[in-house]
Amino acid sequence: MKVAVPRERRAHETRVAATPDTVKKYVGMGLEVVVEAGAGMAARLPDELYRAAGASIEADPASVYRGADIVLKVQRPLVAGEGELDELALIPKGALLLAVLSPYNAPDSVPAYAGVGITAMALEFVPRITRAQGMDVLSSQSNLAGYRAVLDAAFEYDRAMPMMMTAAGTVAPAKVMVLGAGVAGLQAIATAKRLGAIVSATDVRPAAKEQVESLGGRFVMVESEETKEAETAGGYAKEMSEDFKRRQAELVAETIKSQDIVICTALIPGRKAPTLVNDDMVASMRPGSIIVDLAVEQGGNCTASRPGEVVEVGGVKVVGHFNVPGRIATDASALYAKNLLNFLTPLLQTEDGVSLALDFDDEILAATTLTHGGRVTHPAFADNK
């Protein structure tokens, strides 16, 4: 069985779906691994390390994909007209594709996977159950993004984060507010605390309160009966009512004007990110303040953020970097590759040679499989068949 690890070709992607460590594991299980030349370069993983781990290196992308049974990617394959190569056309019929496929952002891609007869699994749909924790790409990547967001803020900030009492005077600690206390938000709180900031955070899920406080942050939240229903069975947030949004806007407006740094991390799966910081709120902040919008690629939590840009509005810098986990590519690749290894390993049976044994009734495969056998099988996308 052949595993293909192509070079990622989408803009701003620096990560790679297998590392020399995971390649070694795949080879140990009896798989043949082919890595495209340069696939790990942006993550500082040169071809020689993959070769030493037992992979063969191919310069020609068509040769990487040819005969592959399993294709490991970070992002969904390019299709004709999207870039330098029609990657989807190169994936052999019947192959298993594992990647963050973002089908809500590209609904046409799902029938296209069915059309070429591949089994496409979207790793971001792995359910948040104990058995799947090691496969959870959203958590591994959000955790690093939350960390990096605070460092990006610190880089743009023209002041120090911790309190410093020096002979020349005292530097006040930065006040950091984190909007959304999920995986990224909690890591942002922890990172800002480590840097000595005074940290507060808000969320719509009451369960976040204890987590924020255990990290030394102050939790502020709209008091409302609605929050009791704000969390789905999967642990995600729901879209809130207009009344809640108005009250939350008042709370954020009141708090934000005294903050130096705001880290925006709020997301609602499958929807545009909630707008939490409007132009008036940005204008209320002191010049020199920083807003980092991690949700910028999902529509943004801040109306002033622009994808891929650092904009200055009335002296407030609004940071909207693309692909923040990709800004910490070596560790992001290491964790992502490990997530893929943990996902793939139970799908392999290794008696009498290695082969795929896919049980589509399994909770994890049922949640992640978009297409199989030429059909769109995921209920959320079946209408687009």
Identify whether 47 is a catalytic site residue. no
Q: Is 274 in the site for ligand NAD (CB under 6 A)?
A: yes
Task: Mark whether 10 is an active-site residue.
Answer: no
Beta bridge partners of 369: 121
Which residue number is nearest to ligand NAD in terms of Cβ? 182
Q: What is the smallest separation between the CB atom of 80 and ligand NAD, expressed in angstroms? A: 32
CB atoms under 10 Å from CB of 128, counted, come to: 15
Cβ-proximal residues to 378 (8 Å cutoff; 6+ apart), any chain: 103, 110, 122, 369, 370, 371
Q: Which of residues 27-66 bind ligand NAD (CB under 6 A)?
A: none
CA neighbor of 24 nearest in space, from 35, 14, 9: 35
- Would you say 238 and 268 are in contact if contact means Cβ atoms under 8 Å apart? yes
If one asks whether residue 217 binds ligand NAD (CB under 6 A), the answer comes out as: no
Length of the chain: 385
By beta-carbon proximity to ligand NAD, the closer residue of 38 and 127 is 127
Taking the chain, what is the end-to-end CA distance rounded to the nearest angstrom? 29
Active site residue 139: yes
Binding test (CB under 6 A) with ligand NAD, winner from 38, 111, 196, 269:
269
Q: Is 202 in the site for ligand NAD (CB under 6 A)?
A: yes
Q: Considering beta carbons, is residue 25 or 205 the nearer one to ligand NAD?
A: 205
- Selecting among 75, 109, 139, 248, the annotated active-site residue is 139
- Does the CA dihedral 295-156-257-190 come out positive or negative? positive
From 52-60, 89-97, 115-123, 262-270, give the range in contact with ligand NAD by CB under 6 A.
262-270
Strand partners, 356: 348
Pick the catalytic residue: 9, 86, 102, 236? 236
Quote the CA–CA distance of 73 and 341 in Å, as a whole number. 12
Q: Could you say which of 26, 47, 76, 136 is catalytic? A: 136
Q: Does 259 bind ligand NAD (CB under 6 A)?
A: no
Mark 135-174 with x for binding to ligand NAD (rule: CB under 6 A) and - for no binding: -x-xx--x--------------------------------
Q: Is 136 a catalytic residue?
A: yes
The residues, ordered by sequence, that sit 6+ positions from 352 with a Cβ below 8 Å of its Cβ are none
Instruction: Tell me how crowded residue 172 is: count the other CB atoms within 10 A of its CB.
Output: 12
DSSP 126: -
Least CB distance to ligand NAD at residue 318 (A)? 18
Rounded Cα–Cα distance for residues 74 and 146 (Å): 19
Alpha carbon 286 to chain centroid distance? Answer: 30
- Does residue number 99 form part of the binding site for ligand NAD (CB under 6 A)? no
- Which is closer to ligand NAD, CB of 82 or CB of 226? 226
Q: Verify binding: residue 268, ligand NAD, rule CB under 6 A.
A: yes
Contact 204/187 with Cβ under 8 angstroms? Answer: no
191 binds ligand NAD (CB under 6 A): no
CB of 276 to ligand NAD, least distance (A): 6
| 144-to-34, 40, 96, 148, 313 alpha-carbon distances in Å | 28, 18, 27, 6, 27
The tokens for 75 are 């992002």
Q: Is 375 an annotated catalytic residue?
A: no
14 or 339: CB nearest ligand NAD: 339
Q: How far is the CB of 208 from ligand NAD (least distance, A)?
A: 6
Active site residues: 128, 133, 136, 139, 236
Which residues in this chain contact ligand NAD in the complex, by CB under 6 A?
128, 133, 136, 138-139, 142, 179-185, 202-205, 208, 235-237, 240, 265-269, 274, 276
